[in-house]
Amino acid sequence: MSTLPVVFSAFQTRKMDLLSNKWIINLIFCLFFTGISCNSVENKIYVHLNYSIPCVRLLNATHQIGCQSSLSGDVGVLHVLESEANLDWVLQNGPNPPYMVILDSTLFTRSVMMKLKTGSSRVAGVVVVAPSSNPAEGFSPHTTCPNENSGVYSESYDPALAHCNVTKWNPLGNGLSYEEYDFPMFSLKDDNDTQAIKQCYYDHNHVVNGSSPRYPLCAMQLYSHMSAVTDTATCMRRNGINFSLNPETVCDPLGDFNVLASTRPLNYTDKGHKTGESVVIAAARLDSRSFFFDIAPGAESAASGFVTLLAAAHALRNATQDAQPNRTILYAFFQGETFDYIGSSRLVYDMDNKQFPLDLDNVHSVVEIGQVGLHGESKLWVHTDPVSRRNSSVNEEVEKLIRNLNSSALNLSLSLQEPSFSQPLPPSSFQRFLRARPIPGVVIQNHNSSFTNRYYESMYDNAEYLNMSYPPNLTPEEQLEYVTDAAKALTEVATIVARALYTQAGGSDPIQLKNINADSQMVTQMLYGFLVKSNNSWFQQMVPSDFAIHLRDRPTNFYVGVTQQHSEPTLLVQYLLANLTGTTVNITQDNCQNQREDEDDKESKHIYSYMWVQGAAPPNSTERVAFCVRSTVRLSKALSPAFDLEEYTSKDYSTWTESRWKSIKGRIFLVASHELEMLTLGVGVAVLIASLMLTYIISSKADILFSSGREPTAATY
């Protein structure tokens, strides 16, 4: 038997098989990608929620806040809450607990939520339907005294001013964001999907005249299981445990970067006190929050302040480049201020510990721009700290600063005034500077005593609240260019601030002073970009190409987020500040991206930062003309010192962390009654037992039953 021809023929057939296999596989792949519709059983049972925003768990040194679901999701029978009295159905009378309560935004109040919280054994979850327009009476889920324990007003500083004893800054605050809930809470938009959910309720669950609804009932399941528990110290300890090859992180600290720029370049390798340097810090905050995760429109609480400061920095560009005033102006945009002043506490810590090219002794004064959105009024309020002003030298400087501000406001329609009675500072980054040293400074706000912002740190603090109204039928490009009333008002504020900063920095040329004017076109473009749509042509011109794809067709989200993730506003402000205060330099892209002027330059990267931005396309072509911008803009880390020092129970620094989670989703479906399920199980068991018995009987009698027609010598039965 020769093996060779066998092998040869086998090889040939294998080659043919390979070819035909390849052909079949290619055919299958081609057909696969033409799209297959999946008609599975799951689609008959579940309807998945497309757009759902959860409330997540945040932890600090002592508490955990936010919501938690069980690991396999919480299932509850839907109930649309009609009024607060209807809560009795959910909490006591309803026959099919637990319930998944659907609230309209008018019922999302403290009393309803506290009742739901106490009855949480019968509550599987809460869904809040966000309205399309802001509620008229105001809503603020933040506390009445924001950042109560992390500012400067404590028992040791001045007990009479601590804990908002003099003025409750946020009187409308109901503190809902800072409560702990045992059930998941999601937010849905008021659109067709939500209508379908409510329709499911009305079809199956709705009760008429007190009779109980009949099965099957409409139910919802929400998944938002949070990994971290108790407080920051516990979850940071659990982060470090190595149970397996992949240690699982359960929480991350909140933080991001502060954006800093200066009128005179600072050498960032030369840290610590700088002799002879006297700096005026112009500060604003960058972040905001709301009850739900990753929604933080922050129009008045954040955007009004930093947009004004950006416009002021741009207005001061020419004045500080031609003839530099004596003092340097440091523009500081702090991130994480909502969560116990993460950014400003970090900067003060760095300054105190020689981690920054300046020292707190170098700081001459602080001008902070708080919430300055004006809704028709023409007065701004200048807040100061009464305790530090008891020192006569500090008081003198503060009064000089206020005079500068007032003189800058001459010939403009706005006026600045101090509050009539002795009042502590509102929540502001300046408080952290005061904790370290008594520095003269002011905080500019639009309110005399309590906030006028009715939607402080809520999802309603948006462009609509700032009165950014555009005429109808404008294209996005036209809307970008249209100067709203809000923009006009903020331009005036920016002009006042810029002129005051120029005078405060020692500038004395009156012609220069008169020429300092903020550009209303720029202000309205910035407001549009941050509060309406960040993917617009103006922003596109000023960012590098790899960031341009991250610009979105919706408002910027100002939530600070965890340290590892760069938040969009920080980067946008960085690029804007670079373009608005920097200069264009004619160097190659390679040099620009390597932070040097030419091949031999090793020094510039310590002083300046270079950015290769996309630029605009000239009118006759579609190719963008990119260029290099040189500026003094830096990002400085905004992570609370508590995490570097590993003091997770610190009372001095922010200890906020955000829990991690695996999946966040929700779905609705019908549930059958318990009786029907047990009946099915009973029938199944009965069928099984009956068939077992029958088979046993038949197989034992098989000889007899199947005996006819068989040969006697046949097989083994």
List interacting residues with another protein (CB under 8 A).
31, 34, 37, 40-42, 44-47, 75, 200, 216, 218-219, 221, 667-672, 677-685, 687-688, 690-692, 694-696, 699, 701, 703-710, 713-717
Residue closer to another protein (CB basis): 42 or 396: 42
C-beta of 703: minimal distance to another protein in Å?
Answer: 7
C-beta of 30: minimal distance to another protein in Å?
Answer: 9
Q: Using CA of residue 313, residue 315, residue 317, residue 319, what is the dihedral sign?
A: negative
Residue closer to another protein (CB basis): 550 or 701: 701
State how far the Cα of 78 lies from the Cα of 124, in Å rounded to an integer.
9
Residue closer to another protein (CB basis): 42 or 82: 42
C-beta of 696: minimal distance to another protein in Å?
Answer: 6
Retrieve residue 366's tokens: 């602080």
C-beta of 686: minimal distance to another protein in Å?
Answer: 9
Residue closer to another protein (CB basis): 241 or 681: 681
C-beta of 687: minimal distance to another protein in Å?
Answer: 4
The order of strands in the sheet holding 279-285 is 415-417, 379-383, 441-445, 363-369, 279-285, 328-334, 255-262, 634-639
Residue closer to another protein (CB basis): 621 or 708: 708
Residue closer to another protein (CB basis): 247 or 682: 682
Do the Cβ atoms of 192 and 198 come closer than 8 Å? no
217-226/661-671 β-pairing: antiparallel
C-beta of 93: minimal distance to another protein in Å?
Answer: 24
DSSP H helices in 377-536: 392-408, 430-436, 476-481, 485-504, 510-515, 520-531
Residue closer to another protein (CB basis): 8 or 46: 46
Nearest to 153 by CA among 386, 369, 368: 386
Residue closer to another protein (CB basis): 16 or 681: 681
State how far the Cα of 464 lies from the Cα of 447, in Å rounded to an integer.
19
Residue closer to another protein (CB basis): 199 or 318: 199
Do the Cβ atoms of 578 and 313 come closer than 8 Å? no
C-beta of 69: minimal distance to another protein in Å?
Answer: 14
Nearest to 184 by CA among 657, 667, 558: 667
C-beta of 285: minimal distance to another protein in Å?
Answer: 44
Reduced to 3 states, what is the DSSP secondary structure of residue 371?
coil
DSSP-assigned letter for residue 109: S
CB count within 10 Å of CB 296 equals 27
State how far the Cα of 504 lies from the Cα of 366, in Å rounded to an integer.
10
C-beta of 230: minimal distance to another protein in Å?
Answer: 29
The amino acid present at 276, given as its one-letter code, is G
Reduced to 3 states, what is the DSSP secondary structure of residue 119?
coil
Which residues on adjacent β-strands are paired with residue 279? 328, 363
C-beta of 48: minimal distance to another protein in Å?
Answer: 11
Residue closer to another protein (CB basis): 37 or 475: 37
Burial of residue 638 (number of CB atoms within 10 Å: 0-12, 13-18, 19+)? buried
Retrieve residue 415's tokens: 């006026």
Residue closer to another protein (CB basis): 663 or 713: 713
Residue closer to another protein (CB basis): 37 or 586: 37
Residue closer to another protein (CB basis): 155 or 711: 711
C-beta of 385: minimal distance to another protein in Å?
Answer: 57
Upstream peptide bond of 98 is cis (omega within 30 degrees of 0) = yes
Burial of residue 648 (number of CB atoms within 10 Å: 0-12, 13-18, 19+)? buried
Burial of residue 453 (number of CB atoms within 10 Å: 0-12, 13-18, 19+)? buried
Name the E strands within 36-153: 47-48, 53-54, 58-59, 64-67, 74-80, 99-104, 123-130
C-beta of 672: minimal distance to another protein in Å?
Answer: 4
C-beta of 45: minimal distance to another protein in Å?
Answer: 4
C-beta of 685: minimal distance to another protein in Å?
Answer: 6
Residue closer to another protein (CB basis): 625 or 678: 678
Beta-carbon contacts of residue 522 (< 8 Å; ≥ 6 apart) = 311, 314, 580
R_g (Cα) of the chain, nearest Å = 33
